[in-house]
Amino acid sequence: MSTKVAIIGSGNIGTDLMIKVLRLSEHLDIAAMAGIDPGSDGLARARRLKVATTHEGVEGLVRLDEFAGVQFVFDATSAGAHRHHDEVLRALGRTVIDLTPAALGPYVVPPVNLGEHLDAPNVNMVTCGGQATIPIVAAVGAVTPVHYGEIIASISSRSAGPGTRANIDEFTETTASAIEKVGGAARGKAIIVLNPAEPPLIMRDTVHCLVSDVDTEAVTASVEEMVGRVQAYVPGYRLKQKVQFETVAADDPLHRLAPAGEVVKVSVFLEVEGAAHYLPAYAGNLDIMTSAALRTAERIAAHQEALR
């Protein structure tokens, strides 16, 4: 039995997600897409693919006949818009999967904590950088406490649509918070870089974790195992080189971010190649976000079906 879903947002993220649901999911059936730009490519593609559309946002979506059977709604708009969307949809009893950095519901990173939030009415997918890097922070934290976790997400400017650009502050704040709450770091920091290089560069992510006691073989094994778990739904996710370990000098400012004693910096370098369902393969940031949302929806749908 398939679960009917709808998407709000006809930009890059919403359009890629729509294509993924149509091509990849055996358990989800897309009923409608809502946007606010009647001339958007996303709505045009949806119409060509026989998906019901409206350019009147969430208000137009709930008036569509197709909305009656919808159980899940993906929000691929902006943090500010999501607050209104959640209010409308929650009142109608729909489960909301939030791809904006609004963070009204609990953070969900599938290989780390999805099983803890299967009954939540609204789940937040953090950010593309968070989906790529928080699994690594959690993998290091599974071996030894992480005093400080810092991530740098570098994405092509071409892959950053208006919603992403309008939410830079929310990106850094939400990702840093999730590094702590999901990744388990005592303190987190996030940086995003919009790279204007031509030709466009593939998504790259760097993760730095400060730890005290470190078993290099155990940390490496934990990171590699986590990479495999993410690759199960994002095939283009991979390590760029071996996990690096560096003792932090006592006079290095980084040393102040950890308790007294020896401090080791664990560095992990990642690359995320997109599946090119909508934008080209350099847009791994798009792919990891929509893939995580799809994995989350399918898992929640299976959970709800098992309860019936």
12 marked among binding-site residues: yes
- Cβ 90 vs Cβ 122: under 8 Å: yes
* Residue in 306, 299, 297 with CA at minimum distance from that of residue 4: 297
13 marked among binding-site residues: yes
Is residue 209 annotated as part of the catalytic site, yes or no? no
Q: Which residue has the tokens 């934990």?
A: 222
CA 135 – CA 113 distance, rounded (Å) = 10
57 marked among binding-site residues: no
221 marked among binding-site residues: no
161 marked among binding-site residues: yes
8 marked among binding-site residues: no
Question: What amino acid is encoded at 164 in this protein?
Answer: T
159 marked among binding-site residues: yes
| Contacts of residue 8, Cβ cutoff 8 Å, sequence gap at least 6 | 14, 33, 34, 35, 57, 58, 61, 73, 74, 75, 76, 77, 85
Question: Residue 200 has which token pair?
Answer: 């466009």
167 marked among binding-site residues: yes
162 marked among binding-site residues: yes
- Cβ 81 vs Cβ 14: under 8 Å: no
Catalytic member of 126, 128, 155, 211: 128
* Bond into 199 cis (ω within 30): yes
Active site residues per annotation? 128
* Binding site feature residues for NAD(+): 10-13, 159-167, 285
Q: Binding site: residue ranges?
A: 10-13, 159-167, 285
